[in-house]
Structure 1
Amino acid sequence: MNIALFGPPGAGKGTQAKELSKHYKIPHISTGDILRANVRDATELGLKAKEYMDKGELVPDDVLIGLIRNRLTEPDCEMGYLLDGYPRTIPQADALTDILAEINKPLDAVINIEVSDEELVKRLSGRRSCSCGESYHLMFNPPEKEGVCDACGSGLYQRDDDGEEVILQRLAVYNEKTKPLIDYYGNEGLLVNINGAGAVDEVFRDICNVMDQHK
């Protein structure tokens, strides 16, 4: 099954994608992971991407779609894939459609996790991180001792992009650039909306109900 997972920042795409990948034994493919792997391995496209990343610029669509094409032709994608966070714009969606047709791996469904802006701000602003890599949430997954990491005892901090002002800006960018894809894939007959406001296991179950139809 070939699935793309959509949703605004804080909707839980990453959390769901990891569990879905394990459950269905198909690779979870995120653009961030692909970029880091290709830069680390110094591939031709990775080196091109690094030139832009080192200057703080966005990696051009042609480089990014080339990286995704290469990733989707790897052996572990033979039984399907789970795209997370791509495409983000209409031009990217057009390019992806062409690539998927070329390699004969078209999308079976685009699953859109819907969460209100109010709930997203609550989720994102409550996140706390530790330098050791552990993460917490003040409401959903608090540390045993306030402000202190359970794993290493270090102080927790709030990421700059988890402040409310930045969150609202991220949501504005999503609504402007990415939300039009909802109509794009709706017109293609691929879109399935999932209520993402419930518990993680409830959202997982609802997504599985959709994916089971495409086994």
Structure 2
Amino acid sequence: MYLVLLGPPGAGKGTQAKRLAEQLELPHISTGDILRQNVKEDTDLGRQAKGIMEKGLLVSDDLMAKMLDERFNNPDIKNGFILDGYPRTLLQAYSLDEILKSKGLAVDLVVYLNTSDQVIIKRLTGRLVCSKCGANFHVTNMPPKIKGVCDGCQGSLYQRSDDNEVTVRKRLEVYKQQVASLIEYYKKAQKLQSLNADLGAEIVLNQIIELSAKVR
């Protein structure tokens, strides 16, 4: 089962991906994690990415595709994966298809976590992120056991500077412009399923598991 999770920032992609990976016994692949790992391990691709990020620029689609291509060589994906954070644009979707095709693989299911702006704003403006492992918490919905401390690794929690209402609204507008053609692409390929992610995380998780069972 090669599953892609799409959705706006704050839709719960990362949370769902981690739980799905456990339930379906598949690796959770996050482009953010891949990028950080390459930089940390000082790989050739990681050094290129670090140089770009230090200039305040975004890592190119081409470089990100190379990192994904390398990650997909790992035998742990032979039975599938849960991909979160990619693709974000139509060009990235084309790139993903080409990478998988070169390995005799293909995306089986794309789940779009459809979330209202109001819910996203509430989630993101209260989000807390672990500076060490990247785990997410929320000041009201999912507070840590100890204030300011990650439950898992005991790293310190912080609030991202762009998690404010004005910036979140701008990010949502940009996302909506980017995702429209992406949704249409996967609709035409008959791989897209849209879920109401305003519902509880447990309900959404069970719905995704049901969908994946029909495809497998």
Same-fold call, TM cutoff 0.5: yes
State the number of aligned residues: 213
State the identity %. Answer: 42
- Distance in 1 separating the partners of 2:132 and 2:35: 23
- Structure exhibiting the larger radius of gyration computed from Cα positions: 1
2:177 is the counterpart of 1:176: yes
> Pairwise mapping of residues 45-84 of structure 1 onto structure 2 (< 5 A)?
45-84=45-84
Question: 177-186 vs 3-12, which deviates more?
Answer: 177-186
Paired residue type of 2:204: V
Length-normalised TM-score, structure 1: 0.89
Deviation at 1:205, TM superposition (A): 0.4
- Change beyond 3 A, Cα 1:207–1:67: same
Q: Is residue 72–residue 81 contact of structure 1 (8 Å, CA) maintained in 2?
A: no
Q: Is residue 5–residue 111 contact of structure 1 (8 Å, CA) maintained in 2?
A: yes
Gap runs ≥5 in structure 1: none
- Change beyond 3 A, Cα 1:188–1:132: closer
Q: Is residue 130–residue 150 contact of structure 2 (8 Å, CA) maintained in 1?
A: no
- Change beyond 3 A, Cα 1:16–1:53: same
Q: Is residue 127–residue 135 contact of structure 1 (8 Å, CA) maintained in 2?
A: yes
Deviation at 1:202, TM superposition (A): 0.6
Specify the alignment match of 1:139 in structure 2: 140
> Pairwise mapping of residues 1-215 of structure 1 onto structure 2 (< 5 A)?
1-128=1-128, 136-142=137-143, 148-149=147-148, 158-215=159-216
Length-normalised TM-score, structure 2: 0.89
Gap runs ≥5 in structure 2: none
Deviation at 1:37, TM superposition (A): 1.0
- Cα RMSD, aligned residues only: 2.4
Q: Is residue 150–residue 157 contact of structure 2 (8 Å, CA) maintained in 1?
A: no
Deviation at 1:143, TM superposition (A): 5.8
- Change beyond 3 A, Cα 1:27–1:166: same
